[in-house]
Amino acid sequence: APTIHRADYRPLAWTVDTVELYFSLDAEASIVRNTMQCTRQGDGPLVLLHEGLMREDLTVNGAPPKAMRDEDGRIEIDLDGEDAVEVVVVTRVNPSANTELSGLYQSAGGLFTQCEAEGFRRITCFPDRPDVMTRFTVTLEADRRDYPVLLSNGNLVEQGELEAGRHYAKWEDPFPKPSYLFALVAADLVVLDRKVTTVSGREVLLQVYVEAGNLDRADHAMDSLVNALRWDEETFGLELDLDRYMIVAVGDFNMGAMENKGLNIFNAKYVLAKPETATDVDYEHIESVVAHEYFHNWTGNRVTCRDWFQLTLKEGLTVFRDQQFSADMLARAGGETARAVKRIEDVRVLRTAQFPEDAGPMAHPIRPDAYQAIDNFYTATVYEKGAEVIRMLHTILGPEGFRNGMDLYFSYHDGQAVTCDDFVEAMSEANGVDLDQFMRWYSQRGTPTVHADVAFDGEAETCTLTLTQSRPDKDDEPLQIPVAVGFINAVGDDIPLRLQGEAEAGATTRVLQLTERQQQFVFEGLRPGSVPSLLRGFSAPVVMAINESDAQLAFRMAHDADPFNRWDAAQRYMTRTLLAMAASDAPEVPRAFIAAFDTVLNNIALDPAFRTVALTLPSEAYLLEQMDVADPAALRRAMIIMTQTLGRALADDWLGHDEALAVPGEYRYHPGDAGSRALRNLGLRYLCAANDHQGVGLAELRAANAKNMSERFGALMALVQSPAVEAAQLALTAFEQTFGGDALVMDKWFAVQAAAWRWSPEQPATLERIEALTQHPAFSLGNPNKIYSLFGSFFRNNPAEFHRPDGAGYRFWADRIRELNARNPQVGARMARMLENWRRYTPELQQLAREQIEGLLKEEALSPDVREVLEKALG
C-alpha cells in the first residue's frame, strides 16, 4: 500500500453539504441509496472514495457522469463549469459476509456499523475524510420482526409501517459531521431509558440498548453516562447538545467503543455489568469508556480532526478528560488515595504498552508523519502518551489556564475540522504563554530520559539538582519537561522548599520547568541526607534516571508523601531485584527486599487499594524492556521464585489481612470495597503461588461460592496461576459449567488460561492448552473479544510460554496471523504487532521469530494493515 504523508494534506475541491441515505436493509443484500448535494470550494474534480462495493448506479444531476476515472478505490469526476451538483450513488452490500467488522456488518442477527476510520466508504461512495462535514438524513427500512429497533444519529423524525412486514424510521442529525461518525443499528434490542435535565434546563433522553435478557446489566453504564454528563458541565462548561443520546452494546466489535454522534456503539464488555458477572475492574473500565465516548461529543465531534494524522487531537485530549473524570469519581467515593491509585494504574498502562512501542519499530510521534494503514495508528502512543502531553499542558498552565484555553479553542473552532497546532495555539493565546518549544512533543518519538544528579553542600545547606535531558531522536532540540520535585527529611517528612533567590520556603512539591539540555536548580536550607523524590505524580512521560541505593528506595517506599512516587520506588526496587535474579544462576530474594515489602503490606494506615498496586510486581512486558537482552525464560524463573518467596515468607500476614479485609454485605462498586477485594485477591495470588495449604483452600472456596465476580475470578486466577494443578482444573471446570453460556464471562475464562505460567513440569504447556481451547464451543474466530482473550493475552501477558525455545509459540502466532489476515485485518494487525520487538530477544529466539515473519511476508494476499506491521518489524 502507498505511504500517506502528513505534509501532503490538501483540502478537497468539492464538499458535501447534505446527504440523504436510504437503506433497504437485509442481512445478505442491503441496498444503499445515497443522495449528496455537493458544492465546489476549489479547483479540481469531485472525489469519492470506496472499498469493496457493488455499485449499481452513479449519476450526476440525474445523468451518468461524462468524465470520470475510477482507480484504486478513488473516483474522480470532472465537473468543469459546475459549482453545485446532486450526486446519487446506489450500492449493494452484504453485511453477513463482512468479517472485517468495518462498514455495515452483522452481529448476533442484528446489523451494526463501524465507520472510524475508513469504514463509511465500505457502505457508499463518499469523500470519506474527516474534513468533509455534512448534514445527514437517514431512512432505515427493514423487516419488522427481525429488526424491530432502527436507530441512526440525531433525532427520530418519522417512523411507520410498510408492506410485507417491513417498517421504517427516519433520523435527522442537526449537526454537520464527518462520515466516520455516521452510525446505524437495526436489531432486536431492549432499552433502558433515563431522562435528565441539562444545566441549561433542557430535558434529554438517555438510552442504553442491550440484547433481551441483559437489561439487568445496563444500570452501571447508565449511571456512568449521567455522571459524565454532569462532570463535563461542571468541569468544562460543556453541555449535551442533543435531545437524545444512545448507547448500543454489540457482541462483535473491533475496538472498545465508538463515539458516533448521538449513537455510540459499544463493545458489550464496556457496557454490561452486574456483580455476579463483572469484576471491580470491569466496573471501572465501563465508567471510563462510557465517559470517554461521551466526552468525544465535544472533543472529537463538535471539533473534529482535519486529517487522521491529527488523531491525538481528539484521542489524547479525550483520554486525558476521561482519566480526570475517573479520578474525580474515585476521589469522591474513596478520597485522595483513590485518585492516586488511578494515576498509578494509568502510568502502569503507559509503561507496559507505550514505552515498548516507543522503543520498537512502530515508534512514532503522537502526531505521526506517515502511515500506510491508519487503523494501525490507534496506538498507545497516540492515546496514552497523547494524554500525558495534554496533562503536561494542564500542569504548566494550571487548571484555570487550561480551562481558559479549552474555552478559547471551542470559541474559535466549534464546527470545524482542525489540527493539533490549532489546539496548542488556543492554549497559548488564552494564557499569553509561548508554547513553541512545547510543540516539539508532537513531533518527537521515543521516550526521553531525564538524568538527575544531586549534590549537597553541607556547609551552606544547599542542594544543587542537575537535570539533563536526552531524546532518542533529535538530541539537539530539548523539550519542555515539567519535573515535579520534593525532598524528604530523615524522619520521613516532606521539606518545604526554597529555591535560591526566594525569600521564604513554600510548598513541599515544586514543578521545575526543564527547557535546556541541562539545567541546575539550587535549593536552600536542605541538609545532606535529605532524600530527593523526583518526577512526582509522573509529571512528564519520561524515564527519570537517578542513582539510588536499595536503602533509599526502601525509605521512599515507606515514607514518600507522594503516593505515585511511593509506588514508583517500590516498582524500582522490584525491577532491579527481579533483573538481578534473572541474571543470577542461583536466584534468591534478598532479605532487605522482603522486609521492605513486609513494611508496606503491614502498614494498615495505607489504603488496601494502594497496598495492592504497591505490592503488585511490574508487568513482564515492562521488565523485558529493561533487560539488555530480553530473556523471557530467565525472567519467568525469577518471577516464580519471587512470588513463591513472598507467598511463603509472608503467609501469615496475607492470611491475616484476608480475614481482616473481608467486605460484608451486598456487593457495591466502591473504591474502598474494591481495594479490599483487590488486596485479598493479591494475597491469594502469592499464597497459591507458594502452594500454601490454607491459601489454596480459601481460593477453592471462593472460586466456587463467591457472590461476586471480583472475588470469584480473583480466586480462579490465583489457582490457575499456581502449582495447584488439580485444584485449578476443578475450579476451571466448575466455572465453565456455571458461565459457559455467557460470552463476556467466558472471555475471562479463556484469558486466565492463556496467561497461565508453568509452575511445575506436570502442568501442561500453555500453548497446547490454547490449541485445545480454540476448539471450545464458546470460542469463535469471528469474535474480536475471543481473539483478544485467548490469543492476545497469551502473546502479551505470557512471554515465557509464547517465546518458547522450540519456536512453537511463533509458529502458532504465524498461523493465527494468516487466518486473521484473511478474516479481519485490523485485528490481525494488532496480533501481528505482538512480535514486533523480536530483535530485543536472545539470538536464538530472534532467528526463530525472523523465520516466521519472513514466511508471512511471502504470502501474496497480505492486507495493507498486516503488511505494514510486518515490514516495519523486519525493518
So which residues are the catalytic ones? 293
Contact partner, 625, from Zn ion, ligand DPP, none, Cβ < 5-8 Å per class: none
Compare residues 111 and 311 and give the one whose CB is closer to Zn ion.
Answer: 311
Q: Which three cell numbers stand for residue 787?
A: 481473539
Q: Which residue is nearest to ligand DPP (CB)?
A: 258
Q: Does 560 bind ligand DPP (CB under 6 A)?
A: no
Residue 463 Cβ vs Zn ion, minimum distance, rounded to whole Å: 43
Contact partner, 287, from ligand DPP, Zn ion, none, Cβ < 5-8 Å per class: none
Task: Name the segment binding ligand DPP (CB under 6 A); options: 239-247, 256-264, 515-523, 596-604.
Answer: 256-264
Residue 66 contacts by C-beta under 8 Å, 6 or more apart in sequence? 78
Q: What is the DSSP letter of 134?
A: B
Region 107-166 residues binding ligand DPP, contact defined as CB under 6 A: 116
Q: Which three cell numbers stand for residue 126?
A: 463518499
Residue 315 Cβ vs Zn ion, minimum distance, rounded to whole Å: 5
At position 323, the amino acid (one-letter code) is: Q
Site string for Zn ion, 311-340 (x = CB under 5 A): ----x--x----------------------
Q: Could you give the 3-state DSSP secondary structure of residue 129?
A: coil
C-alpha distances in Å from residue 566, one per residue of 528, 677, 842: 21, 22, 33
Contact partner, 258, from Zn ion, ligand DPP, none, Cβ < 5-8 Å per class: ligand DPP
Q: Which listed residue (100, 128, 284, 315) binds ligand DPP by CB under 6 A?
A: 315
Q: How many CB atoms lie within 10 A of CB 764?
A: 12
Q: Which three cell numbers stand for residue 382?
A: 497516540
Let me know: does 199 contact 235? Beta carbons within 8 Å.
no
Let me know: does 658 contact 706? Beta carbons within 8 Å.
no
> How does strand 449-457 pair with strand 543-545?
parallel
Let me know: does 764 contact 286? Beta carbons within 8 Å.
no
C-alpha distances in Å from residue 8, one per residue of 309, 371, 567: 11, 12, 45
Residue 243 Cβ vs ligand DPP, minimum distance, rounded to whole Å: 23
Q: Which three cell numbers stand for residue 242?
A: 442533543
DSSP 438-502: GGGGGT--S--EEEEEEEEETTTTEEEEEEEEE-SS-TTS---EEEEEEEE-TTSPBPP-EETT-
Q: Does 284 bind ligand DPP (CB under 6 A)?
A: no
Task: Name the segment binding Zn ion (CB under 5 A); options: 169-177, 310-318, 491-499, 867-875.
Answer: 310-318
DSSP 5-67: EGGG----SEEEEEEEEEEE--SS-EEEEEEEEEEE-SSS-EEEE-SS-EEEEEEETTB--SS
Q: Does 514 bind ligand DPP (CB under 6 A)?
A: no
Rounded Cα–Cα distance for residues 252 and 783 (Å): 5
Residue 832 Cβ vs ligand DPP, minimum distance, rounded to whole Å: 20
Q: Does 313 bind ligand DPP (CB under 6 A)?
A: no
Contact partner, 116, from Zn ion, ligand DPP, none, Cβ < 5-8 Å per class: ligand DPP
Compare residues 379 and 508 and give the one whose CB is closer to Zn ion.
Answer: 379
Compare residues 288 and 318 and give the one whose CB is closer to Zn ion.
Answer: 318
Contact partner, 257, from ligand DPP, Zn ion, none, Cβ < 5-8 Å per class: ligand DPP
Q: Does 548 bind ligand DPP (CB under 6 A)?
A: no
Q: Does 627 bind ligand DPP (CB under 6 A)?
A: no
Residue 361 contacts by C-beta under 8 Å, 6 or more apart in sequence? 836, 837, 839, 872, 873, 875
Compare residues 354 and 469 and give the one whose CB is closer to ligand DPP.
Answer: 354
Q: Which listed residue (133, 151, 210, 257) binds ligand DPP by CB under 6 A?
A: 257
Residue 184 Cβ vs ligand DPP, minimum distance, rounded to whole Å: 16
Task: Name the segment binding ligand DPP (CB under 6 A); options: 85-93, 228-236, 252-260, 752-760.
Answer: 252-260
Q: Does 259 bind ligand DPP (CB under 6 A)?
A: yes
Q: Does 258 bind ligand DPP (CB under 6 A)?
A: yes
Residue 139 Cβ vs ligand DPP, minimum distance, rounded to whole Å: 25
Q: Which listed residue (141, 173, 293, 425) binds ligand DPP by CB under 6 A?
A: 293
Q: Which three cell numbers stand for residue 761?
A: 513440569
Residue 634 Cβ vs ligand DPP, minimum distance, rounded to whole Å: 37
**Chain residues in the site for Zn ion (CB under 5 A):** 315, 318
**Chain residues in the site for ligand DPP (CB under 6 A):** 116, 255, 257-259, 292-293, 296, 315
